Amino acid sequence: MENEKSNDVLHIVMFPFFAFGHISPFVQLANKLSSHGVKVSFFTASGNASRVKSMLNSAPTTHIVPLTLPQVEGLPPGAESTAELTPLTAELLKVALDQMQPQIKSLLSHFKPHFVLFDFAQEWLPKMAEELGIKTVFYSVFVALSTAFLTCPARVPQPKNYPTLEDMKKPPPGFPQTFVTSVKTFEARDFLYIFKSFHGGPTVYDRVLSGLEGCSAILAKTCSQMEGPYIEYVKSQFNKPVFLAGPVVPNPPSGKLEERWATWLNKFEDGTVIYCSFGSETFLNDNQIKELALGLEQTGLPFFLVLNFPANVDVPAELKRALPEGFLERVKDKGIIHSGWVQQQHILAHSSVGCYVCHSGFSSVIEALVNDCQVVMLPQKGDQFLNAKLVSRDMKAGVEVNRRDEDGYFVKEDIKEAVEMVMVEVDKQPGKLIRENQKKWKEFLLNKDIQCKFIEDLVNEMTAMAKVSSN
């Protein structure tokens, strides 16, 4: 591969962590950048390459660089993304990544890109790239609120003196005055994960902080319209350039919705169906499934419920055990329960779908907002809790399901109440305001000029930085 630094083509290496929740935002950004003439080399484990290829635009300036994962004790051979692993064994992917440094150094020496866009787990990359004369950009696939609340220096003022559960309920010192003033006990307990060490490696917090402090610039998948105060706080905490990619709105899906789903959805009036899904790597327990199913049933509205389970389980047996007795028979005319992959973007775009109950992964929220879908959020882990607060409290464009403080427990009435707020009580507050704001954000996200300018500005800023470093 020729050294692209000799000409004006901006060459970027994209290097996400081996989880599709991270790979997908990197792919979406790669597609936007390549359409603006940027050359992209996409690093991923060879086992993920075919799926990444199906997601990437086939531009002549974009190519995939397959990486070889080293053998790590306890990591099953051929398992190269978190989708194939339990949360505990997935931690071994970070061990594998750490052992890949010589391989990455050799590839970067060969490609000599202007920039490497890297993820939270590769905190060793800035130093390595600097030795090779390559700039690094920490690309945070999380909202700026997540960085501001969880992984800024103010969160741990003394090295290794990690916060307590009570500390994590409150924002760090200097946090901006916004609607996000506290979190619940069960959410704070989940956040403590970032301060745990696995297999003797650095904690997530230490990895993230090293990456953010060591990189040439920070890139956030957000915009000031959505997160102005949090972006400014991140800038003040790190004192370095913070580039904004904008929300990186996905392109409309190609192809048609599968016939069986289109036929079923076509039976219902516009905007009446609830679509409910928690992604491919979030699994509800039996009690959550029961209360969710009963809550959807009690709305009286038609619904399409996607329930996924860990690999290698007997799905029909799981569904039989988890769903309430007699449920499938009662809802057979107006409810679908499905396990496995579905064309989510196509479903959300269908005219009969009017509500999306989800785990509030931010890409999923954006997919809902660009359609005529009201967002009902039931976050399950990590940054999802903060996404839900951003959307419900700051943007006022969705509703979060009410839950018990201590353990996050919810009942069917909580689901029914949240859905009805935006689907039934449309002339009452706060449902009326939420629906109005959903419409405003939809217009903003679908404004091609605005969204295109985010990417143009990013390319210009990176080009300017690359030129400064080459002079």
What is the C-alpha separation between 197 and 209, in angstroms, rounded? 14
Residues 148 and 163: beta-carbon distance below 8 Å: no
The DSSP line for 284-310 is --HHHHHHHHHHHHHH-S-EEEE----
The DSSP line for 322-335 is HSPTTHHHHTTTTE
CA distances from 22 to 121, 263, 440 (A): 11, 33, 28
* Helix residue spans in 192-267 (DSSP H): 204-214, 224-238, 259-265
11 is catalytic: no
What is the C-alpha separation between 246 and 229, in angstroms, rounded? 15
Closest-CA residue to 403 (of 434, 426, 432, 380) = 380
What is the C-alpha separation between 104 and 387, in angstroms, rounded? 33
Residues 165 and 185: beta-carbon distance below 8 Å: yes
Query: Which residue(s) pair with 324 in the sheet?
Result: none
Catalytic residue among 98, 114, 119, 359: 119
Look at strands 62-67 and 335-338 and give their pairing: unpaired
φ, ψ of residue 244 in degrees (nearest 5) = -120, 125
119 is catalytic: yes
Catalytic residue among 11, 22, 346, 359: 22
Q: Tokens 């945070």 belong to which residue?
A: 140
What is the C-alpha separation between 290 and 223, in angstroms, rounded? 38
Sheet containing strand 374-377, edge to edge, reads 335-338, 303-306, 273-277, 353-358, 374-377, 398-400
Q: How many Å is the Cα radius of gyration of the chain?
A: 22
Here the tokens at position 277 are: 């899904």
CA distances from 460 to 40, 116, 199, 295, 381 (A): 16, 16, 41, 49, 35
For residue 433, the surrounding DSSP H or E stretch is helix 431-445
What is the C-alpha separation between 422 and 10, in angstroms, rounded? 45
Residues 204 and 194: beta-carbon distance below 8 Å: yes
- Residues designated catalytic: 22, 119
